[in-house]
C-alpha cells in the first residue's frame, strides 16, 4: 500500500499569500483550475458531485505532485464535453440527477463503496460502471472512509470553530466541500479553498469558494457573517440573499501522511493539534452527521 506525505514546504506555504486571504497550497483567488460548472441539462441537482469532483481533482494533482503515478486511464479533470472536467462527467453518467452527498461521491470514486443511503437521494444508475478507481493502490478495508466531516449545525457551533477547522484543513492541504442550507428547505454544495480574514475585526469575513451554479469560472470570495443568537455562519449577498447558512464541511483526507506533530506545530501552530483532536471526535462513535445537498 502506498502513502504520500504532505511536504514540509507545502505546510510552510500555509501563509497569507494575498492580503487577508488564506488558501490551500496550489490554488489562489480567481484560480479556474478547480471549478466544475453545470450545463443545466439533466445535472441541476448534481452540485454535490461537482463540488466533490473539484476536491478529487485537487487530491489527485497533489498525489501526482509527490511523484506518484495515477492509476492507468483514470479521469483527471480534463475537458470532456459538455463539461470542463471528465471527473464530473463520470458522475453525470453514473448517478441519478438528485440531491446527494459529497461523502458518497468521494468514497465511490476511490473504493466503489456508497456509505450513505437516504430516501430520495441520488443513487447509481442501472448499469453504472465507474468508481473504485483506486482499489489497486489502497486497501480500503484498512483505510476505511476517505473523508472527514464537520457538522456546523449541531456539533461545531462556536464562532471560532470555523476558523480553527479551516486553519487545520488548509495546513494539511485537504480539499473541501461545504453543504449550505436555508430554513425554507434549500440545500446546495460548494467547494471551499480558503477564507478571508479581517485582522482589525479579528474574525472571518468571507469564504473562498467555487460554485457549480454560477456563471463565473474560478474561485471567488463570498462574504460570511456570524449570528450569535442562532450560532450559525450566514453567507452574505449569496445570489442576492443572506439566508444561506453553513451546515457542514467535508474534507477529502485519504491517507495523508503528515509530519510528526512537533514538526508541524512549529509551522502551523496549535491549529494542527485542534484538528487532530477533532478528527478523532468526528471518526469516533459513527462520525459527524452527513448532509444531502442539491440546489433547490
In a domain, 294, yes or no: no
In a domain, 229, yes or no: yes
Give the phi and the psi of residue 271 in degrees, each rounded to 5. Answer: -60, -35
Quickly list H helices, the chain.
8-12, 47-65, 86-94, 102-111, 140-143, 159-171, 261-268, 271-283
In a domain, 124, yes or no: yes
In a domain, 27, yes or no: yes
The total domain count for the chain is 1
Range of the domain at 79: 14-286
Number of H helices, E strands in the chain: 8, 10
In a domain, 5, yes or no: no
**CA 139, 11, 216, 290 torsion-angle sign:** positive
Q: State residue 196's pLDDT score.
A: 96
pLDDT tens, position by position, 64-77: 999 999 999 999 99
Termini Cα distance of the chain:
41
**Residue 126 CB burial class (10 angstroms; 0-12, 13-18, ≥19):** exposed
For residue 118, give the CATH number of its domain.
3.90.70.10
- The DSSP code sequence of 114-134 is -----TTS--BPTT-----TT
Q: State residue 215's pLDDT score.
A: 86
In a domain, 2, yes or no: no
In a domain, 291, yes or no: no
> pLDDT tens per residue, the chain (296 residues)?
333 333 333 333 443 445 589 999 999 889 999 999 999 999 999 999 999 999 999 999 999 999 999 999 999 999 999 999 999 999 999 999 999 999 999 999 999 999 999 999 999 999 999 999 999 999 999 999 999 999 999 999 999 999 999 999 999 999 999 999 999 999 999 999 999 999 999 999 999 999 999 989 999 999 999 999 999 999 999 999 999 999 999 999 997 543 333 333 333 433 333 333 333 333 333 333 333 455 43
Q: What does DSSP say about strands 232-236 and 220-227: parallel, antiparallel, or unpaired?
A: antiparallel
pLDDT tens, position by position, 200-256: 999 999 999 999 999 899 999 999 999 999 999 999 999 999 999 999 999 999 975
Q: What does DSSP say about strands 256-257 and 4-5: parallel, antiparallel, or unpaired?
A: parallel
In a domain, 3, yes or no: no
Coil, strand, or helix at residue 143? helix
The answer to whether 149 and 290 are in contact (CB under 8 A) is: yes
Amino acid at each position: 500500500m502506498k502513502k504520500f506525505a504532505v511536504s514540509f514546504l507545502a505546510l510552510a506555504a500555509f501563509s497569507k499569500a494575498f492580503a487577508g486571504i488564506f488558501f490551500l497550497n496550489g490554488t489562489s483567488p480567481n484560480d479556474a483550475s478547480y471549478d466544475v460548472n453545470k450545463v443545466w441539462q439533466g445535472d441541476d441537482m448534481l452540485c454535490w458531485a461537482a463540488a466533490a469532483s473539484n476536491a478529487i481533482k485537487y487530491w489527485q494533482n497533489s498525489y501526482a505532485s509527490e511523484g506518484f503515478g495515477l492509476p492507468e486511464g483514470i479521469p483527471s479533470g480534463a475537458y470532456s464535453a459538455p463539461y470542463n472536467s471528465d471527473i464530473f462527467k463520470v458522475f453525470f453518467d453514473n448517478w441519478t440527477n438528485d440531491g446527494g452527498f459529497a461523502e458518497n461521491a468521494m468514497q465511490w470514486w476511490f473504493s466503489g463503496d456508497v456509505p450513505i443511503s437516504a430516501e430520495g437521494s441520488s443513487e447509481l444508475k442501472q448499469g453504472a460502471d465507474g468508481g473504485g478507481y483506486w482499489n489497486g493502490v489502497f486497501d480500503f478495508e484498512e483505510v476505511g472512509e476517505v473523508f472527514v466531516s464537520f457538522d456546523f449545525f449541531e456539533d461545531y457551533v462556536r464562532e471560532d470553530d470555523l476558523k480553527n477547522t479551516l486553519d487545520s484543513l488548509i495546513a494539511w492541504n485537504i480539499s473541501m466541500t461545504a453543504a449550505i442550507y436555508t430554513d425554507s428547505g434549500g440545500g446546495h454544495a460548494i467547494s471551499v479553498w480558503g477564507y478571508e480574514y479581517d485582522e482589525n475585526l479579528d474574525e472571518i469575513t468571507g469564504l473562498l469558494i467555487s460554485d457549480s451554479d454560477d456563471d463565473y469560472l474560478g474561485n471567488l470570495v463570498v462574504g460570511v457573517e456570524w449570528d450569535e443568537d442562532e450560532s450559525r455562519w450566514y453567507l452574505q449577498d449569496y445570489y442576492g440573499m443572506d439566508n444561506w447558512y453553513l451546515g457542514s464541511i467535508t474534507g477529502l483526507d485519504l491517507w495523508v501522511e503528515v509530519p510528526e506533530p512537533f514538526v508541524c506545530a512549529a509551522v502551523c501552530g496549535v491549529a494542527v493539534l485542534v484538528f487532530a483532536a477533532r478528527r478523532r471526535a468526528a471518526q469516533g462513535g459513527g462520525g459527524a452527521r452527513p448532509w444531502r445537498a442539491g440546489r433547490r
